[in-house]
Amino acid sequence: MATGIKNFNGYVTLLLVGCLLSAAYCATTLNAEDSWDRLDEELIVSLIFAGICIAYLVAMKVLFTAPLTTHAEWIEINGIFATKPKSGKKENVHSEVDIIKGEKLKQYSVADELTKWAKLKEDGHISEEEFNEARTKLLKRN
């Protein structure tokens, strides 16, 4: 998202600079009496496009970027297009290994869970310490 926002702002700013340069060129050449009408129209069109560019930049900042940065934590948890929150609070992703959330699970077998953890240890996904910690927690819950 950040790259898209930067690219949009960059392209619109580039277009804005082009419009302003065109308007400045038209304003400096307005002294010629014979081409007044054509240059006047070009100046007005350049200024209109410059105003549109500025409006786009402001709208992007106010309507898109500001809400995303203000609610970044909520978006991180629920996603950008979520209509209902997934959770009331942010779960700590980097916390200790949480083995079982009893209130969310219907039923489980301690033996099955120990088998799963042993398989993870054998495959090298977890260390001996993590396995022992999981085993201790599982056995305490029963």
At 92, is the secondary structure helix, strand, or coil? coil
Residue type for 92, please? N
Full pLDDT tens readout for the chain, 142 residues:
778 888 988 999 999 999 888 888 877 776 655 555 666 777 788 888 889 989 999 998 888 888 888 887 877 777 766 667 665 554 444 445 555 555 455 456 788 888 888 999 998 889 999 999 988 888 887 5
Nearest-5° Cα angle at 45, 39 to 51:
135
CB 7: neighbour CB atoms within 10 A? 10
Among the three residues 22, 45, 78, which one is the final residue of a domain in this structure?
A: 78
pLDDT of residue 31: 60
Structural domain harbouring 45: 2-78
Residue 63 lies in a domain: yes
At 124, is the secondary structure helix, strand, or coil? coil
Question: Has this prediction a pTM greater than 0.75?
Answer: no
Total domains in the chain come to: 2
Residue 91 lies in a domain: no
pLDDT of residue 103: 47
Could you tell me if 138 and 101 are in contact, meaning their C-beta atoms sit under 8 angstroms apart? no
Q: Are residues 74 and 47 in the same domain?
A: yes
Spatial neighbors of 1 by CB under 8 A, at least 6 apart, are 68, 80
